[in-house]
Amino acid sequence: MKRKVIYGMMIAALLSSILPGCGDFQDNKAESKEEATLTGGKDLYGYEEPITLKVGLSYALDFVWAGEENPENNSWMDLYREHNIYPEILYNVDISQADSKLSTAMISGNYPDIFQASTSDYLNYVGEGVVADITEAYEKYASDQLKEYMMSDGGEALRILTVDGKLYGLPRLGNPYEECSIMFIRQDWLDNLNLEVPETMDELKEAAHAFTYGDPDGNGVHDTYGIAMNGIDLFSDTIGDSNPIFNAFGAYFGSDGMALIENEDGEIVWGGANGEGMKSALTLLQELYQDGSLTNDFLTMDGDAIFEEAGTGRCGIWFGPSWAGMIPAVNAAMLDKNAHVVAVPLPDGGGSEDGKAYLSHSINEIHCISSKCENPEALVKMMNLSVQKICNPKDEEEYRKYNGDNVQYTGWKASLLQLQPYDKGSENWKAESRALKTGESDGLNLSQHAEVGYMREYLQAMEEGRVDPEDKGQYMGITMYTLYGDPQSAWAVISEMMEKDDFIKSANSTLPSSEVTEVAGTLKNLTTETIIKIITGDPVEDYDSFLDTWYALGGQKAVRDANDQKKEAAVKE
């Protein structure tokens, strides 16, 4: 557990040090409290008289406050109090205890006014009357900036969260393109073995075998292997995700194992229902496992173990979201200054949707307010503040104060309603890769300018033969180069996929019913167990009988409900 927290915080700390707002404050159109009151006759950000809101806090084990800030006194708490919103802290626990603490508080009847819900809990909370209807509050108090943010995904998340015409929460949007898994590979190992980037699964097998038996690091020791995979959670949304292998053969599971997609006839089907494609994918994985090219230790590996394996130069190929190459790249460079981690498109598996990646909906979590709270509009007003300060800071000082500088200000991690810029990755890649190519920095915002500076520092060190990944500037330069600057960066690959529309999108137009949610965990476990058994030696044909069991245990109802909802939506239109 400790290792998992540490690697998670490494990523969070890395991104927080360079996390920009949604836009450049040079073009900021932020609405101040006074402007809102004068133009609209209502306060979109606070109250004339003080109100108190109960909150629960949770932080990772090694979370550190910047400067003199603490849970009670920080830039965000000060901001809320400036607007007459006074948070009352009910509890402050480790993040691993957050869900159980909230559940216990709800059972006692004394729970936070402001809290976060998962997509699986949201409908239950609505049905139980735990969360307030904020439909009217959103229509009345949502700022133009908040409305614009909520339309970043075309309004998909708001539609999904609308239940019987009413809204009970506001989503923390995540860009699904940033979270879809791609392939990462050691380019220096390919170069050492005179191999090209694999474009087909046969070429991937060849590369994985060579990485296992061809001494790709040239140290004369048999201490490397081809592919690392998360056997603890096959369908993860982190490093070690196995979804890309299945996607390459036209099968889709998503992070919950319940991905629903449209077939050629427009009918919604389960993404794992492509039996022939899955058997081809499982045959490949079985061969890789028997060869040792897929490490036999994958059964006990989680995402953080793969961070470690990739970073210490043990494995040469892994899958994961856009950020999954950053920490491995810098850690590998600490051991071998010539280490070069790159992202590449998914190899062609010969499936019906060759190499296409699955895109889920854009909801990361849902910000809710208790039905017991006398001021349900407070949720909307606080979200207005989050969008204004994180996405539209008026100047550099405000940016540092609410986004963070890791010195004086903790930034966005201290916000009670966290959110993230929707198009940050795409915008940063376009601006920063262009700046590296042209040498010009005009038009870069604060964080982009800093990131380009780090990358230039690293590239100059490479050219002069003085690479030192332990130097802060070069450390940041390597990670940003892997994410944005390298011609084979993660976002270069994602952008190419976007241009080609190499994605299969979720067909879910609503959240699953409580009945489907109840069986989803069982179905995911069944799917995982079946796949692992086949990879490690059971007959590939067992997948056919598994499909019958999957449908019988509740899968059929999930598919039927999705098709019924689609028909109902069509009638309403």
Report pLDDT digits (tens) over 137-148.
Answer: 999 999 999 999
Q: Retrieve residue 39's tokens.
A: 């133009």
DSSP 422: S
CA angle, corner 198, sides to 209 and 283, nearest 5? 60
Q: Is the pLDDT of residue 526 over 60?
A: yes
Give pLDDT, residue 360.
87
Task: Return the higher-pLDDT residue of 176 and 455.
Answer: 455
* 477 close to 456: Cβ distance less than 8 angstroms: yes
Burial class (CB in 10 A: 0-12, 13-18, 19+), 107: exposed
Q: Is the pLDDT of residue 297 over 80?
A: yes
Q: Which residue has the tokens 């879809």?
A: 180
Report pLDDT digits (tens) over 24-60.
Answer: 554 444 444 444 444 455 799 999 999 999 999 998 7
3-state secondary structure of 154: coil
Q: Is the pLDDT of residue 352 over 70?
A: no
3-state secondary structure of 93: strand
Residue percentage of the chain with pLDDT more than 90:
71
pTM equals 0.86
Q: Is the pLDDT of residue 9 over 50?
A: no
> What span, in angstroms and rounded, lies between the C-alpha atoms of 451 and 7?
21
What amino acid occupies position 131? V
Burial call 151-163: b when 16+ CB within 10 Å, e when fewer = ebbeebbbebbeb
How does the average pLDDT of the chain come out, rounded? 89
* 362 close to 124: Cβ distance less than 8 angstroms: no
Phi, psi dihedral angles at 288 (to 5 degrees): -65, -40
Give pLDDT, residue 119.
83
